[in-house]
């Protein structure tokens, strides 16, 4: 996997970010950097604080302490709408959408309000807004469903639509929260191709996922969280080798499968060479 971007161009920085709910330290002093162009995968058991971390850095939940930057701009304390307009989009674990609206209207909202700040929402949808919305639908391959009501869509389409909504805000960075949760194997491949396509188009990606095959195949770097803290950071291949990750998260069975997966991949690459 050749990196197109120059090394060490840091796009996103988190410095000692915490979010406590009473005595529960959902996110406990997390520091991390995301480099431009990479796919950073975040794994870890349920309740590890992954989604809370996403909520904090995308402005939906205020941090208890800590600061974070997007490029050179500090975005700590900004509203979710402002962070979105700055170029950081996200998707949600639950299939969030505007259920009573059409597919097209869903992305139009994102394209109109999410691409840049507006003093006033305006009375007309501009041409640029429409084009951004159509391009986003085309990107995920949902153009033919543009006029369907979102309520009636199957789960894969809802996941794709959420990504289309993120794309329509013209982001430089996308946080994907469990993009393949609840999908079949074939559907997972569709989303995997799409995430690669996002990366190729120059968007930096941070993703949370429990489907290990997806997480480890896509990510250029992996972080494993537990009890609000980072317990592992490194290459995907190293994940099943780490004793603590195996104990707290993966378990013996999954570890063996993953090791076999990486061995097969190595053999494949050797055979190809």
Binding site for other proteins (CB under 8 A): 58, 60, 79-81, 84-85, 89-90, 92, 96-101, 104-105, 108-110, 112-115, 120-125, 130-131, 134-135, 137-139, 143-144, 146-147, 165, 167, 169, 201
Residues paired with residue 35 on neighbouring β-strands, in sequence order: 10
Name which of 112 and 226 has its Cβ closer to other proteins.
112
CB–CB of 148/130 below 8 Å? no
What letters, b where the CB count within 10 A reaches 16 and e where it falls short, cover 163-186? bbbbbbbbbbbbbbbbbbbebeee
Minimum CB distance to other proteins, residue 59 (Å):
8
Instruction: Say how many CA atoms lie within 13 Å of 249 toward its Cβ.
Output: 27
Minimum CB distance to other proteins, residue 229 (Å):
26
Name which of 198 and 239 has its Cβ closer to other proteins.
198
Name which of 64 and 93 has its Cβ closer to other proteins.
93
3-state secondary structure of 206: strand
Structure token digits, residue 92: 């949600």
Name which of 16 and 122 has its Cβ closer to other proteins.
122
Minimum CB distance to other proteins, residue 148 (Å):
12
Those residues with Cβ within 8 angstroms of residue 33's Cβ, 6 or more apart along the chain or in another chain: 10, 12, 13, 14
Minimum CB distance to other proteins, residue 77 (Å):
15
Q: How far apart are CA 235 and CA 222, in angstroms?
A: 6
Q: What share of the chain is helix, strand, coil (3-state, %, to 5)?
A: 45, 25, 35
**Chain centroid to CA 244: how far?**
25
Q: How far apart are CA 142 and CA 33, in angstroms?
A: 33
Name which of 134 and 262 has its Cβ closer to other proteins.
134
Minimum CB distance to other proteins, residue 52 (Å):
14
Name which of 15 and 105 has its Cβ closer to other proteins.
105
Name which of 84 and 212 has its Cβ closer to other proteins.
84
Minimum CB distance to other proteins, residue 165 (Å):
6
Minimum CB distance to other proteins, residue 78 (Å):
12
């Amino acid at each position: 996997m050749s990196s197109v971007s120059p090394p060490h161009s840091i796009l996103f920085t988190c410095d000692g970010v915490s979010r406590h709910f009473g005595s529960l330290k959902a996110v406990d002093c997390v520091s991390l950097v995301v480099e431009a162009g990479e796919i950073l995968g975040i794994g870890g058991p349920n309740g590890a604080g992954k989604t809370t971390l996403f909520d904090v850095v995308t402005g939906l939940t205020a941090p208890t302490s800590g600061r974070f930057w997007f490029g050179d701009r500090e975005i700590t304390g900004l509203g979710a709408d402002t962070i979105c307009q700055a170029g950081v989009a996200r998707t949600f674990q639950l299939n969030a959408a505007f259920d009573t609206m059409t597919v097209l209207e869903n992305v139009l909202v994102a394209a109109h309000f999410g691409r840049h700040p507006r003093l006033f929402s305006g009375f007309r949808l501009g041409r640029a807004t429409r084009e951004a919305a159509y391009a986003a639908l085309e990107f995920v391959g949902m153009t033919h469903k543009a006029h369907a009501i979102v309520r009636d869509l199957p789960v894969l389409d809802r996941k794709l639509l959420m990504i289309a909504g993120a794309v329509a805000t013209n982001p430089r960075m996308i946080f994907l929260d469990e993009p393949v949760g609840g999908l079949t194997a074939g559907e997972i491949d569709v989303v995997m191709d799409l995430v690669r396509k996002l990366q190729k188009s120059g968007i930096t990606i941070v993703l949370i996922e429990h489907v290990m095959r997806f997480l480890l195949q896509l990510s250029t770097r992996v972080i494993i969280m537990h009890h609000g803290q980072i317990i592992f950071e490194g290459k995907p291949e190293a994940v099943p080798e780490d004793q603590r990750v195996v104990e707290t998260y993966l378990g013996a069975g999954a570890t063996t499968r993953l090791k076999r997966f990486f061995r097969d991949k190595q053999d494949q690459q050797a055979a190809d060479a």
